[in-house]
Structure 1
Amino acid sequence: MFNDRSSPLSLLQTRRSGKPRDLIAPGPDEGQLRKILEVAQRTPDHGKLAPWRFVIVPLEKRDALAALLETAYRAEKPDAGRLEMESMRQFAHQAPTLVVALSAPVEGSKIPVWEQELSAGAAIMNLLHAAHALGFAAGWLTGWASYNEDVRAAFAKAGERIAGFVFIGTAGREQEERPRPEYDNIVSVWDR
């Protein structure tokens, strides 16, 4: 069982992202989404800078997002075929809830940008945990749309970057486990 909510530890041990293309309604309502984003803020944040932001893309704005993605993709890849363009539209319409997560480092801070970016990633992880704790499935995607300058400019302020698109909804099909790293391959004991 994935995202087992019987205890906090069980939830973490069974955490599994949902594939955004498989997420269906219902998604979180306004109050649940607010709670999810409030939990996302409770993340390690050296210097108390809050070097991240979240932009909610409501369902009624998904056509506008699809148009933005299609225009930006066509500008970058003028020879893109029909299937590539359809994938841009599908990306915008996945899942009932979409949150664009932004890395928003505070310039001039003594806290290195690297640490601020790690905090943004931790905030997104908390967002996923909160969504799962409320019984939803969620997935964090990056890819082409995260790195395109036109798409970035539509969501981010100067100096900010898209850290990912977080899709939230209900799993529309059985989730499958993915390979996980072997413990001994990622954990060692320092012995110098």
Structure 2
Amino acid sequence: MPDRNEAALAFLATRRSRPHKLLQPPVPERAELEELLAIGARVPDHGKLEPWRYIVLEKAAMTRLAGAVAARAEARGEDEGRRDKIVAQYANASLCVAVVSAPKPADIPLEEQVASAACVAFQLLNACLAAGWGANWLTDWPAFDRPFLESELGLAAEETLAGFIHIGTAASAPPERPRPDVPALTRWVSA
């Protein structure tokens, strides 16, 4: 029989992201965040390419980005309600980690490299939650808007964003939400 890590399984069975609206200071100190980033990097990585990188966005950077998102939303013609909602994600955040998919020239398919970056985002999210922090993985249009990504985050043409991991202290625990019907989504093949 395999050695079961009951504590890890219990955590994974009940993990729940914390809505960004509930996140507030304090945030992890730099040393703790560095530990969480190292844990985030422990993911499947075919070819050991490390096809991802981090951009740590502290409060002042998030405030700056809120202004850039507002300007970009106007240029895109976003409606005011949607613009204000997205701007608030940046303006109200005290700490965020942008997980960048940074593919490398290799025989490893691009899809595998992009999937590895998504694994980094999810591993970092879970590491934050396991360490007792509130965290949430967000995207929305700024995560896919090339002018915003290149001018505000410095992404290269071949890079994309896996997501923004917002980190802080959860003001309260969110209610449980409906979960997938796993048996309905599972097909067993025996021959």
Normalised TM-score (structure 2): 0.90
Moved more, 38-47 or 96-105: 96-105
Q: Is the 8 A contact 1:128 1:139 kept in 2?
A: yes
Q: Provide the rounded CA distance (Å) in 2 between the counterparts of 1:22 and 1:150.
A: 29
Matched with 2:124 is 127
Matched with 1:113 is 110
Matched with 2:143 is 146
Percent identity between the two aligned chains: 32
Matched with 2:3 is none
Moved more, 171-180 or 112-121: 171-180
**From 94, 97, 106, the counterpart of 1:96:** 94
Q: Provide the rounded CA distance (Å) in 1 between the counterparts of 2:29 and 2:126.
A: 17
Matched with 1:161 is 160
Please give the per-residue CA displacement for 1:93-151, whole angstroms capped at 9, x wherever unaligned. Answer: 233211111111113x1100111111111111110111011101110011111111122
In structure 1, list runs of 5 or more residues that go unmatched: 1-5
Give the partner amino acid of 2:31: G
Q: Is the 8 A contact 2:62 2:94 kept in 1?
A: no
Q: Provide the rounded CA distance (Å) in 2 between the counterparts of 1:101 and 1:47.
A: 19
Q: Offset at 1:32?
A: 1.1
Q: Provide the rounded CA distance (Å) in 1 between the counterparts of 2:133 and 2:104.
A: 32
Task: List structure 1 segments (4+ residues) > 6 angstroms apart after TM superposition.
Answer: none
Which structure 2 residues correspond to residues 1-192 of structure 1 after superposition, within 5 A? 7-77=7-77, 80-81=79-80, 83-107=81-105, 109-153=106-150, 154-155=152-153, 156-192=155-191
Please give the per-residue CA displacement for 1:32-75, whole angstroms capped at 9, x wherever unaligned. Answer: 11111000111000000111111011112222111111111111
Q: Provide the rounded CA distance (Å) in 1 between the counterparts of 2:84 and 2:157.
A: 30
Q: Provide the rounded CA distance (Å) in 2 between the counterparts of 1:110 and 1:185.
A: 36
Moved more, 29-38 or 151-160: 151-160
In structure 2, list runs of 5 or more residues that go unmatched: 1-5
